[in-house]
Amino acid sequence: MHRILQWFSNPPHNAPKATILLRLMAGSVFLWEGILKFVYANQGVGRFTKLGFPFPDFTASFVGGLETVGGLLILLGLGTRFVAVPFLIEMVVAMLSTKIGLYLGTSPLPLPPSPPLSGFWAVLHEVRSEYAQLLTVAFLLWAGPGSWSLDARRAGKRTEDRRQQGAWPEMASALSAIRSAGPL
C-alpha cells in the first residue's frame, strides 16, 4: 500500500514540457463542465435525472464539485495522479450511461442534431469529447504532470531539502575527523 501511495504522490516530473498543453485542455474542460452543472439545471440535476441516476441532486453536485476542484488541480499540476483516477472512472461512467442508449436508439437525451441519429456511427461521433478526456487523463496518470507543475515544484523542493539535510551529517563527520586528528 505504501508503494502505491508513493507512486501516486511522487509522479515523474520529466514528462515533456508540452504536457502542460494536455493539462490546460483537460483541466479547463473539466473546470467549465463542473461549473455548468451548477449554473444550468439541464447540465446538472436535469441531465442526471433523465439518465436515471439515483439521488440526482447529490450526484450532480458531487460530479460538478469533482470536476470544478479536480479541473483546477489538473490545471495547476497538483495531485495530478490522485485526481486522474476519479476522472477516469467518471469518463467511463459518462460514456456508458449516455452512449449505450444512443447506440440502441433509446437515449433519454436529445438526439444528435444531424445523422447518424443512433447506432455505431452516432456513438463514435458523439463520444469524441469523453474519449479525448479519458485518454488525456490516462496520459497524465501515466506520465505525470510534467516539469511545469506544482507537483514537480514540490518534488524539487523535497530533493533540495534532502540534499541540504544530507550535507550536515557529512560536514559533522568531517569536523569530528579533524578534531580527532589532534593538533598539527
Residue 16 corresponds to which cell in the numbers above? 515533456
Q: What is the pTM of this model?
A: 0.83
Q: How many domains does the chain have?
A: 1
Range(s) of the domain holding residue 108: 2-181
Give CA–CA dist 67/79, Å, rounded.
14
Residue 21 corresponds to which cell in the numbers above? 498543453
Instruction: Write the DSSP symbol of residue 1.
Output: -
Residue percentage of the chain with pLDDT more than 70 = 88
The per-residue pLDDT for 31 is 98
Instruction: Output the average pLDDT for the chain.
Output: 90
CA-closest candidate to residue 31, choices 79, 92, 73: 73
Give CA–CA dist 110/21, Å, rounded.
32
